[in-house]
Amino acid sequence: MTDVLSALKDDFTRNLSIRTSPGALDHIVVTTQDGKFPLNQLGQISMKSPQFIMVNMSSFPEATAAATRALEESSMNLNPEVDGTIIKVPVPKVTREHRENLSKLAKQLSNKAKDSLRKVRSNAVAQVKKAKEGHSEDTLRLVEKQIQQMSDNILADIDKQLAAKTKELLG
Domain boundary assignment for the chain: 20-90, 95-170
How far apart (Å, rounded) are the C-alpha atoms in residues 52 and 22?
10
Q: What digits encode the pLDDT tens for the residues 131-160? A: 877 788 888 889 899 999 999 999 999 999
pLDDT of residue 16: 66
Q: Which residues pair with 140 in a beta bridge?
A: none
Q: Look at residue 23 and tell me whether its pLDDT is greater than 70.
A: no
Listed in order, strand segments (DSSP E) in 15-170 are: 29-32, 35-38, 44-49, 52-56, 81-83, 86-90
54 backbone dihedrals φ, ψ, rounded to 5°: -115, 135
> Which of 58, 158, 148, 160 has the alpha carbon at shortest distance from 114?
158
Which CATH code fits 20-90? 3.30.1360.40
pTM of the model: 0.61
Q: Which fold has domain 95-170?
A: Topoisomerase I; Chain A, domain 4 (1.10.132)
Q: What digits encode the pLDDT tens for the residues 81-129? A: 888 889 888 877 777 887 888 888 889 889 999 999 999 999 988 888 8
Within 13 A of 22's CA, how many CA atoms are on the CB side? 11
pLDDT of residue 32: 84
Using alpha carbons, list the distances in angstroms from residue 1 to 114, 115, 124.
10, 11, 10
How far apart (Å, rounded) are the C-alpha atoms in residues 36 and 29?
6
